[in-house]
Structures are given as structure tokens and as C-alpha cells.
Amino acid sequence: MALGERDKITGQMTTGHEWNGIKELNTPVPRIVYFFLIAMGGFAILWTVLMPSWPGINGYFRGLLGADQHAAVIQSVEQAQVERASWTSRIDSEDFASIQADEELMTIVRQTGAALFGDNCAACHGTNAQGGPGFPNLAAAPIMWGDDPEIVAETIRVGINGTSPETRFAQMLAFGRDQMLERADIDAVVAYVETLSQPDLVATADPAMLATGAELFAANCAACHGENAQGMIETGAPNLTDEHWIYGGDHSSIRSSVYNGRIGTMPSWEGRLTPTDIKLLTLYVLDLRASQ
Amino acid sequence: MIADLTRAERQWAMMILGALGIVGLAMAVAGRNDLLGIHGWIVLAAGLGGFIAFMRGKDAPEPSDDRLNEYYDAPTRLGIILTLLWGVVGMGAGLWVASLLAWPELTFDAAWASFGRLRPVHTSGVIFGFGGNALIATSFHVLQRTTRARLPDQISPWFVLLGYNLFCVIAASGYLMGLTQSKEYAEPEWYADIWLVVVWVVYFAIYMRTLARRKEPHIYVANWYYMAFILVVAILHIVNNLAVPVSFGSAKSYSLFSGVQDAMTQWWYGHNAVAFFLTAGFLGMMYYYLPKRAGRPIFSYRMSIISFWGITFMYMWAGSHHLHYTALPHWVQTLGMAFSVVLLVPSWASAGNALLTLNGAWHKVRDDAVLRFMALAAIFYGITTFEGSFMAIRAVNSLSHYTDWTIGHVHAGALGWVAMITFGSLYSIVPSMWKRPSLYSAKLVEVHFWLALSGTVVYVFAMWNSGVIQGLMWRTYTESGTLSYSFIDSLVAMHPYYIARAFGGLLFLLGALVALYNVVMTIRMPAPATEDAALDIPVQPALQAGE
């Protein structure tokens, strides 16, 4: 074996090996390395004694502390439920009017509802419930199926065109695609519907066309949207005379709605949200509307 | 390249390329109704293209035997260039996916540009394209210098380098087409996996055959690490990718594992890919280029031994810390955490060994950006391994898991350690590989250093902040005992950090572009270097009878 030489800077001997000019010192391993090796090793062994660890043939060593992640999670969930029960029991048992009248409970509704809404509703209705293309504005627009608390809670529970057997069902028919109306008739009814929310358009429109449109509306649309076109909560058809639109109130959007029809979906939340959560969301949304 | 092979070797190469072309044709025919067919055409083009190149060059005169008295550096040279090119591609893809997280509309409604497809292009591009090529290129260089022996034959190094890059191309193009087996860092499908096994076995054989021919009595530490890297990656790759193809005409396969066994196998693989690909291999690089550049002996041979065996033994068991608080049994999590905590000691011993090696050379660290890259890499290695052991503690993990903290941790390692040690090593061998007196510009190395350091710091701090905020928001409760924030609230809070992260990534990418430019300009410099070149040769074999 080659002889080592002394390194001037460290005073240590080299091992005597050399690879293309690289040498190695034979410096002893610093004590601190052994210290930490023993300390960390000791901690690791201690930890495996305390916690579930080493496997055997028929199971594993359970650890002296008896920790178990499944039991722990079940216990924390139960404990959290017990802690929340002080107010959830009141939400469950009291009716909407008395909860709405109780400022203390409504503070909890506002705190809790925001995260519930954000995680479950905001993806479609927007973080501020302001809606978006295809999804109604819950904060300001009239609610098509009715804004009575019981009705709103029921809409959340069963959804619209959803998977629940009790789901609310509504569809805007495809009058053009399914050839229920001629092209000229569609133009007429669209022109008429536009004037409902924008009366100043009447001045520039063709009166004969508007008259035809009004007739067609009465024959084809009024059954769902109502004779005055203000929508009907029995059918879930929207009000066409206000400034709120789900799919857009400009000419081409309205025409597309009449021609191709619309069938929006709101999921059935029963089974995905607890009855308490559904009630909380109902209160939260109605409170949001009240504050606007 | 072709001119350096003998006629017999050219015939061998043509047979291999012809066989590759036939396999490609078979894939193209069998998979004509599947995306596999497109990969068949790529393989066919690779085989045929190589075959045609050899047809044109097959009658070149025989090379002189003198070449066998030199080190075989041509594969290393190409490997260095491929490393830098893949670096730009992989980091560019990284910048894109980072921007996608801040501005999701950057997909331009194209399926191939969606986050899910581009993200593996980034991870595979930097890990396998950039890191893998760097490891192959430097391992050939280090192996020859530390054994004083030339690589054992003329074809297999090319087979490994080019075959490996074919794998990378198949992988990246597959991701863009939507081909993935959904295992993180092991996304390529079954046929790409089989090809990589073939390449890898040849790679290991090169290592063993060269070591067997070594003219040095001892095997240097760097080679322990390179061998651990090659051997363990082979084991990990084969086990984790065990799968049954739907048919030989289909790119799709189904893993042999399912459920929690699948998750455990995947993270045993995933964590050891970090350990043996991104750590052991690059430690091999550090153990050669850092002392060489510093002109100092390794601080402690004994500490090398402790670190090496500590790292190779302990890492193997740490993978389950990726699955804390999941369906994985609690006892497996405890063991993963225990091993991860002890792992800190050999990791820090390695980082310490590197930094203490610089004793007596700190003035060089100050003056020489190339050495500074490597010194900084060792520091980041220490930071990242501390963070890793810390995050493996179950209680810490309950905060950090699923957050950007993990991303920050990974990039402290990937940018700060892997990329810095790679750039330092490449800068230190590029002049001698092309027989140039120096790099084109030392100032550009300095520019690159500061771009890389500031990019890494911006990136890592953005993700630390973002991750901790995310983790805290997810576990904050109101006084009523319900969650304070919705998930989307945490996304809104992330947005500024995502922009900062993209900016950090941009700085790092600019640094890589500077490196590519500097290396290309170095290669294009005219002045040939003569100094030391005469010494950089293998030990000459004794004259054989009959010569």
C-alpha cells in the first residue's frame, strides 16, 4: 500500500491513494458525526418503540403509546361534532324564520357558510355568488324556483335536472334545431323578447315583426315564462323582462337560446352535503341576497 | 464518430441500428391504430437515420490504433451538449407550467399544452434529459480518469448515450400525446420502460468492464456513488414499472400493483429516484470535480465510507414518508419516518465532507464562479436534506403535505443542488474536453452563477411562503369549529407566489441559456490547448507479444 503524506493545511495524513491527482485525507470522523448518529438513531429506535412499527408474521408491534391513525381520526371527528353540536342542534331543530331572527346564529351561518359555499357552489356560481355564463347570479337575480327558504333548501337537496329521482326538471326547448318554429318566426320572437328587457328597442324595430313575435310568444313561450314573460316559479322558467340573464341577453345569445334550447344542471346535493349543511347554505345565500 | 470505428465495429453498429429500425417498424405496424404506432415511426426513423449515416460513412478509412491510447471522450462531449439542450427544454417547459398555474389560459385550448401533459415534460426533461445526460457524460469521464483505463469498447458508450436519449424523446413525445402510466417520475409506458432496461444493463456493463480493466489499485468514492446510482435505479425502474400491456399493439398497460401496494411501490421508487438518481449520482460528480477544481484532498476518506453506506442503506426504507396519513398502515409510516430522520446524519456528513474539503481553497471559491457553483451546491444539498428529514416527521408532514412547500423542497434540491453541481462540473471539464485553454467567458459564468442563485432563492422562498400559507389556511377553523377558508380562498392567496415562482424559474432558465451560449462559444474558439493534454491519458498497456 502506498504511503500517506501529511497535508500542510489540515495537518492530516492522506490515505496514500491518488486518482488523477485527487487524494484523500485520512481524517478521523469528527465526534459530532458519531454523536448525531447515536442521537438520531436513538430517537428513531425510541419512536419505533412508542408508535406502531415493526411488522411480524401476524400483524405488527402496536407501540407502547397505543397510537392508531384510524382511531385518532374517528375520535377527532367525533370530538369536533360534539363541539359544534351546541349550534348545529339549533340549526337542525329551529325553523328558518327563528334562525334568521337570531343574530348570534346568523354570525355562525356567515362564518361557516362562506367556506361551504366556496368549496361546493363557487365553482359554478362564482366566489361572490355573482354567477357567470350558464350559471345564475344568486346574490342579486330572482331565484327561478322561488326564494322562500324551504324552496331554496329543496332546490339544493334535489338539484335541477340532477340525478335525484325528485330533482326539479326544466328545459328550454330547441325551437329552431327541432324545427318547431320557422327561421323567420324565430327572428320575430327574438326581436320581441329583446324589447321586453330593453323597451327602447321598440322605436327602431319593425312593428309588424314585433306583433308576430308577440303572437308567437303567447302561443309557444308563455306556458313556461308566463303571459307577462316574468317567469314562473312553478316551471322554473326565468323572467325575461329584467336585466338578469343566465346565458346572455344580447341578440345572438337570445337567438341561440331559442334556436338550440337550454338545459342547465344543478347537482342534487342530498347525500353529498348533510341536511345541516344544506340548511346552512340556504341561510347563507338568502342572507347574502338580503345584504345586497 | 463513424470514422473512429473500425470496419467490424461499423458493421456491428449497423446491425444494431437495423434491428432497432425493424423493432420500430414492428411497433408502427402492430400499433397502427394506436398512439404506439407514432412511437414506432419515431423508433424506425432513429434506426433508419443511423443506418443511413453508417452506409454513407462505412467506407471511410480505418482509424489509427493511436486512439485506443487515449481516453474515449467523444460520448462525453456529445453528452455535455445534450445535457445543456435538455436543460433548456426541460426548464423552458418548467417555466411554462409555472406560468400556467398563474395564468391558466396559457394552454391556448390545445390538449397537448394542458398542465397534465406539459408537467411531465418538465419533470422528465430536467431529471432524465438534463440530469441523466449529465450523469452519463460525467460518469464516463470520471470513470476513465479514476481508473486510468479507456472505456472497454467503442460502440457501447454510444449505445448508452443515444439509446438513453431515444428513451427521453419517446417519453416526452408520449406525454404530449397523452401517453402516461400515471406514476410520477415513471410516466413512460411499457415499451419505453423495456428499452430503458436494455440501455441501463449496457451502461452497468460498461462500468463493471472498465473497473475490471482499471490501472489503479483502489476504486475511487465517485465510482461507488455512480455504481450505486446505476444499480439501484435499475432495480427501482424494473420493479415499479412491472405492468401488463393491453396488447402488443397498444401503448396502454396496467400496473401489476393496485391500491395501497401500488402507492407504496411508487413512492419507494419515487423517493429512491431522488436518492439514487438525484443524490447518489450527483454525489459521484461532486466527489470528483469539487476536489479537482479546488486542488484539495477529500477531507475524510472515513467520512466518505460512513456517508456512502448510511445513504445507500437508509434511503431504501424512507419512501413511505410520502404517504403519511393515508391508507398506508400506520406502522409503515412510522418506519419511513424513523429511517428518514437518521438519514440526515450521513447526508450532512456528505455535505460537510465536501465543504471541509474546501478548507485551504476558500479564496478560490471567492474568485472562481465554477468552484462557487459546486460549493453552493454542497450547501443546498445540506439545506435540502435537513428539510427533507424534517418534512418526513409525521406531524410536520401534516402541515406540509399536498402544499407548495413540497415543491419548494424539491426545487431547493433540483435547482440548488443537482443543477448547480452539474453546471459547476460541466464548466470545469468543457475546456479540456474540447482541448481549449479556458472557457469562452469567465464573466458569463459569473453572470450565470448569480442568475442561478437568485432564481433559486426567489423560487424556493415563494414556494415556502406559499406552502406554509396554504397548509395553514387548510387547517384554520372558525370559532364555531368549521373551516375558515374554502379551497378556492387558498388558491387566491397563492396567486402572487405563483407569479414570483415563474419569475424565479425564468431567471434560472436564463442562466441555463447563458451556459449553453458560453459552452458553444468555447467549442467554437480556435486556440487549441496543449498544456496538460499529454498527461490526460490512460496508463499504457504493456506491449503485447507479436507487436
Q: Quick one: average pLDDT of B98-106?
A: 94
Q: Which residues contact B303 (CB under 8 A, 6 or more apart)?
A: A27, A29, A30, A33, B349, B352, B353
The answer to whether the Cβ–Cβ distance between A112 and B478 falls below 8 Å is yes
**Inter-residue contact A28 to B308 (CB < 8 Å):** no
Work out the percent of chain B whose per-residue pLDDT is above 90: 92
What pLDDT, in 10s, does the model give residues B466-495? 999 999 999 999 999 999 999 999 999 999
pLDDT of B196 reads 98
Query: What residue spans define the domains of chain A?
Result: 14-60, 70-167+266-291, 183-260
pLDDT of residue B541: 54
* A 7-36 residues inside an 8 A Cβ radius of B: 7, 9-10, 14-15, 17, 19-30, 33, 36
Q: Quick check: B535 pLDDT over 70? A: no
Please report the number of interchain residue pairs, chain A to chain B, with beta-carbon separation below 8 angstroms: 157
- The partner residue sitting opposite B299, judged by closest CB among A17, A25, A117, is A25
* Residue B295 to residue B289: CA distance in whole angstroms: 10
Chain A nearest CA to B237, separation (Å): 26
Chain B partners within 8 Å of A23 (Cβ): 297-298
* Closest alpha carbon within chain B to A106: B480
Residue B547: pLDDT band by 50, 70, 90 thresholds?
A: very low
* pLDDT over threshold 80, residue B540: no
Q: How many Cβ atoms sit within 10 Å of the Cβ of residue B239? A: 13
Average of per-residue pLDDT across B534-539: 73
Q: Give the model's pLDDT for residue B67.
A: 87
Q: For residue A19, what are the β-bridge partners?
A: A22
CATH topology of domain A70-167+266-291: Cytochrome Bc1 Complex; Chain D, domain 2 (1.10.760)
User: Of A17, A21, A30, which has the smallest distance from its Cβ to B218's Cβ?
Assistant: A17
Rounded to the nearest integer, the mean pLDDT of chain B is 95
- Average pLDDT of B428-446? 95
pLDDT of B181-216, one tens digit each?
999 999 999 999 999 999 999 999 999 999 999 999
pLDDT at B509 exceeding the cut of 60: yes
Q: Of B538, B545, B544, B536, nearest to B214 (Cα)?
A: B538
CATH class, range A183-260: mainly alpha
CA dist list (Å): B2 to A55, A132, B11, B51, B537: 57, 64, 11, 11, 22
pLDDT tens, position by position, A84-138: 999 999 999 999 999 999 999 999 999 999 999 999 999 999 999 999 999 999 9
pLDDT band at residue B532, thresholds of 50, 70 and 90?
low
Q: With bands split at pLDDT 50, 70 and 90, how would you rate the model's confidence at B44?
A: very high
Q: Structure pTM?
A: 0.92
Q: Is A70-167+266-291's fold the same as A183-260's?
A: yes
Residue stretches of chain A with pLDDT short of 50: none
Q: Considering CB atoms only, which of B338, B481, B486 is closest to A84?
A: B481
Task: Answer with the residue of higher pLDDT: B546 or B133.
Answer: B133
3-state SS string for A226-263? CCCCCCECCCCECCCCCCCCCCCCCHHHHHHHHHHCEC
Q: How far apart are CA A264 and CA A249, in angstroms?
A: 16
Pairing of strands A22-25, A55-56: unpaired
Could you tell me the end-to-end alpha-carbon distance of chain A, in angstroms, rounded to an integer? 88
pLDDT at B543 over 60: no
pLDDT, tens only, B319-359 = 999 999 999 999 999 999 999 999 999 999 999 999 999 99
Phi, psi (rounded to 5 degrees) for A262? -145, 145
Give the pLDDT mean for B315-319.
94
The reply to whether residue B299 touches residue A51, judged by beta carbons under 8 angstroms, is: no
SS3 per-residue string spanning A271-282: CCECHHHHHHHH
Q: Which residue of B has its CA nearest to A59?
A: B331
Q: Is the pLDDT of residue B546 over 60?
A: no
Task: Report yes or no: A174 at the B interface, CB cutoff 8 Å.
Answer: no
**Residue among A36, A115, A116 minimizing CB distance to B345:** A36
